Amino acid sequence: MPLTENVTIAVDAMGGDNAPSVVLDGVAAALAEDENLQVVLVGPADVVEPFASTHNRCTAAVATEVIGMAEHPAEAVRKKKDSSIVIGCKLVKEGKAQGFFSAGSTGACLAGATLGIGRIKGVSRPCLCSVIPSPVAPVVMADIGANADCKPEYLAQFAQMASIYAEKIVGIKSPKCALLNIGEEDTKGSQFAQAAFAQLKEKVPNFVGNCEGRDIIAANYDVIVTDGFTGNVCLKTIEGAAKVLFGAVKDAMMSSTKAKIGALCVKDSLRGLKDVVSPDTYGGAPLLGVRGACIVGHGSSNATAIKNGVLTTARVVRQGVSEIIEHMVAKGNDSDTITH
């Protein structure tokens, strides 16, 4: 689908720690930047209707319930049928929107999308993937939390779907894929890792072998695949380390008059670096393997992250990522290259 084509994205107005204000600001910015974007804003009437009435290409979908971050995801999705997350996913299933974005509960978004939108036929488990903001080059990692327990064959599909995302959305041509492990040798790792290695080697043409944790930020590989438990711990370790490091650098630069003078000299360069490694660039993590575009933003997303998340969701639709995955799975099933 060309970039000139209209795309409709359902947006959860109540998703995130600072909703609805930052969501509304982010949606307004996204509409201003993409003139072919249409948004269905989902949430309480007193939030979504006034905004929709004052913004072109935005309509309101009233939801009377909200799923909180602390609620059990699957139970909340089953019980709160009129929540903004459930309604947003329903709009995609009914064809009234082509994608859904929320910075709300990740678990509820996963449950809502899997149960509401539905899995692509042949996909064993949808996976969450994230673009690791390395200062060297972007790195796509999957799974980062959707599947804490995995079978080795799941990782082969994760790798295939993440590779499509890396090429179509991140712009990495012929991405190199590696398995996160405790060593580079083929025989390294647990029985699970060795079995996953065999699956990847057999079914993923762009698989190049094992990698270690130090390879992630160094961007030695374009796509890194692992189970959701390991991926989530890894991602949050990177995010935490980056936050602490930038805080320590800031403290050091403010520690004396001499340091403050030096800080002025490198201020622009450091700001540029911060922008490069900011998780706000892509705005969220796509759930790959469902019928339609679904991106989950960070709970602490600011307006810039919301804007980028909505725009990325639209781009996933326009690039036909779900359709490519569906074609890949169908072709793989015919040739027995994907196990499900």
Whole-number Å distance between alpha carbons of 165 and 129 = 9
Whole-number Å distance between alpha carbons of 117 and 93 = 5
Angle at 178 between CA 176 and CA 179, to 5 degrees: 165
**DSSP class per residue in 187-241:** T-S-HHHHHHHHHHHHH-TTEEEEE-THHHHTT-SSEEE--HHHHHHHHHHHHHH
| Residue 320 confidence (pLDDT) above 70 | yes
Whole-number Å distance between alpha carbons of 268 and 209 = 38
Place of tokens 């996963």: 110
Query: Alpha-carbon dihedral of residues 112, 62, 291, 295, nearest 10 degrees?
Result: -70
Structure token digits, residue 228? 């959701």
**pLDDT tens-digit map of 192-231:** 999 999 999 999 999 999 999 999 999 999 999 999 999 9
> pLDDT at position 277, please?
64
> pLDDT at position 146, please?
93
Average pLDDT over residues 278-295: 87
SS3 107: helix
Residue pair 136/279 in contact (Cβ under 8 Å)? The answer is no
Whole-number Å distance between alpha carbons of 39 and 9 = 5
**pLDDT tens-digit map of 119-148:** 999 999 999 999 988 889 999 999 999 999
What is the rounded average pLDDT for all residues in the chain? 91
Q: How confident is the model at residue 3 (pLDDT cuts 50, 70, 90)?
A: low
**pLDDT tens-digit map of 221-246:** 999 999 999 999 999 898 888 888 87
pTM of the model: 0.88
> pLDDT at position 72, please?
93
pLDDT cut 90: percent of the chain above it: 77
- 1-123+289-321+330-340 falls under which CATH superfamily? Isopropylmalate Dehydrogenase (3.40.718.10)
Q: Which residues pair with 119 in a beta bridge?
A: 290
Average pLDDT over residues 15-39: 96
CATH 3.40.718.10 domain locations along the chain: 1-123+289-321+330-340, 130-280
130-280: what CATH class? alpha beta
Q: How confident is the model at residue 5 (pLDDT cuts 50, 70, 90)?
A: confident
Residue pair 290/113 in contact (Cβ under 8 Å)? The answer is yes
Whole-number Å distance between alpha carbons of 123 and 158 = 9
Whole-number Å distance between alpha carbons of 300 and 282 = 14
**pLDDT tens-digit map of 142-197:** 999 999 999 999 999 999 999 999 999 999 999 999 999 999 999 999 999 999 99
Residue pair 338/203 in contact (Cβ under 8 Å)? The answer is yes
Residue pair 166/142 in contact (Cβ under 8 Å)? The answer is no
| Residue 279 confidence (pLDDT) above 90 | no
